[in-house]
Amino acid sequence: MLRFWPIWVLLLGGLFYWGMQRPNPNELKSVLKGRPAPTFSLPLLEPYRAQYGTEMGVREGLNKPVVLNIWASWCLPCRTEAPLLERFHQQYKDQVLFLGVNVQDKESEALRFVQQYGLTFPSVYDERGRIGIEYGYYGVPETFIIDRNGIVLERHTGELSEAQLQQYLRQVLP
Amino acid sequence: MKQRARTLLHWLAGWLVLFCPQLVLAQPSPNTPPPDFSPRVFEIARELRCPVCQGESAAESNAGIALEMRRIIAELLAQGKSEAEIRQFFVERYGDWILYEPPARGLTLWVWLSPLLGLGLLGFGLWRYLARVGAQAKAPIADVSEEEIARLEAELHSLERRP
């Protein structure tokens, strides 16, 4: 058996290399991908109540693709991402619902964030981050692309780039 | 003088006996759950990863998401769910990754089988080695060359001749 030591070394080396490959968090696959998005209804942040009502969420019969963005005011990438989401919301608001979920945050801080960046797409408030766990989130920001039938097509962890968002929207736009 | 030193030593020993156990008891015992959740919540949370932490379970971490996971566990326990059902709740949302103990199926089956495989290989190697040593010990005398027999006999004779 010792005669084949180079093969053993190669095999063990290969196993070690394979074991050391840590998955890129941006490539973590969601178990929700291809499955119906969890439905929910949460209170909207105050500035959106006049236009959208007191509560909003993902529910059956929306008949519109949804870009669900989980964010918090204390999260730096959320700050760079917010103007991009606002711009795309302005561009596609008739075809796609951009919905923010503010998690594990103080409502007053969330309101300041919304005002600071002039966000017009609606955001709901989830202080405990319960909906994040329903969607199996790892942190903020995280974005889920849901098609018009309510099926999760993509999950994006971390900050979105313009090209990535454009590519995701291409999958859901008619 | 000696008497005084002895008294001082007795006094110190008395202090140590009296206060050391209390000092030990005064230390906060590790892994004691905070009073807001039952110990059972922490037992279940210990088997689940904290999604935003490095190498910390949902029981150890103070991250908001870990706290919420503990809240969910407490709520599900209050609803009468079993530990297996609670673990399944998190697996349905995060996949098997969320479990600290990987399930014995699919790719993670290797994690369970590799120690057995290692033991098997070690046993096989040991068996082969012992078989070879045993075979050498049992080798018939005919396998020894005449030259070696002659040398051994010469050495034996030289030993016998010594006083």
Backbone angles phi, psi at B46, to 5 degrees: -65, -25
Query: Which of A104, A129, A136 lies nearest to residue B94, judging by beta carbons?
Result: A136
Q: Identify the H or E element spanning A66.
A: strand A66-71
Q: Are A110 and A45 in contact (CB under 8 A)?
A: yes
Question: Does a structural domain hold residue A108?
Answer: yes
Residue A134 at interface with chain B, using a CB cutoff of 8 Å? yes
What spatial distance separates the first Cα and last Cα of chain B, rounded to whole Å?
70
The pLDDT of residue A81 is 96
Alpha carbons B72 and A133: distance in angstroms, whole number: 10
- Per-residue b or e along A27-55, where b marks 16 or more CB atoms closer than 10 Å to that residue's CB: eeebbbeeeebbebebbbbeebeeeeeee
| A31/B64 touch (CB, cutoff 8 Å), yes or no | no
Q: Would you call B72 and A1 a contact, using CB atoms and an 8 Å cutoff?
A: no
Residue A15 lies in a domain: no
Does the distance separating the beta carbons of B94 and A129 come in below 8 Å?
Answer: no
Nearest chain A residue to B126 by CA distance is A1
- Per-residue pLDDT of B24-76, as tens digits, reads 444 444 444 455 789 999 999 999 999 988 889 999 999 889 999 999 999 99
pLDDT band at residue A71 using 50, 70 and 90 as cut-offs: very high
Q: How confident is the model at residue A108 (pLDDT cuts 50, 70, 90)?
A: very high
Distance of CA A123 to the CA centre of its chain: 13
Confidence at residue B25, expressed as pLDDT on a 0 to 100 scale? 43
Total residue count of chain A as it appears in this document:
174
Answer whether residue A38 is part of any domain: yes
Query: Which residue in the block uniquely carries the two structure tokens 């996971």?
Result: B69
Q: Tell me the CATH number at A138.
A: 3.40.30.10
B104 vs A24, higher pLDDT: B104
What gap in Å lies between CA A125 and CA A104, rounded to an integer? Answer: 9
User: Which of these ranges, A3-7, A43-47, B101-105, B115-119, has the smallest mean pLDDT?
Assistant: B101-105
Any domain includes A11: no
Highest mean pLDDT among A109-118, B107-116, B133-142: A109-118
Mutate to test the interface with B, among A22, A128, A140, A155 (most CBs of B within 10 A): A128
**Whole domain around residue A159: which residue ranges?**
32-172
Cα–Cα distances in Å, from A66 out to A27, A100, A146, B42?
Answer: 21, 10, 5, 36
Q: Which two tokens stand for residue A163?
A: 């090209």
pTM score, two decimals? 0.70
Residue A139 domain flag:
yes
User: Is B132 within 8 Å of chain A by CB?
Assistant: no
The DSSP bridge pattern shows strands A55-56 and A66-71 to be: unpaired
- Structural domains in chain B plus CATH codes: 39-103 (1.10.8.640), 107-161 (no CATH)
Of residues A67 and B12, which shows the higher confidence score?
A67
**From B93, B125, B128, residue closest to A133, measured CB to CB:** B93
Tally of domains in chain A: 1
Q: Is residue A6 part of a domain?
A: no
Range with lowest mean pLDDT among A13-17, A91-95, B82-86, B157-161: B157-161
Domain annotation covers residue A138: yes
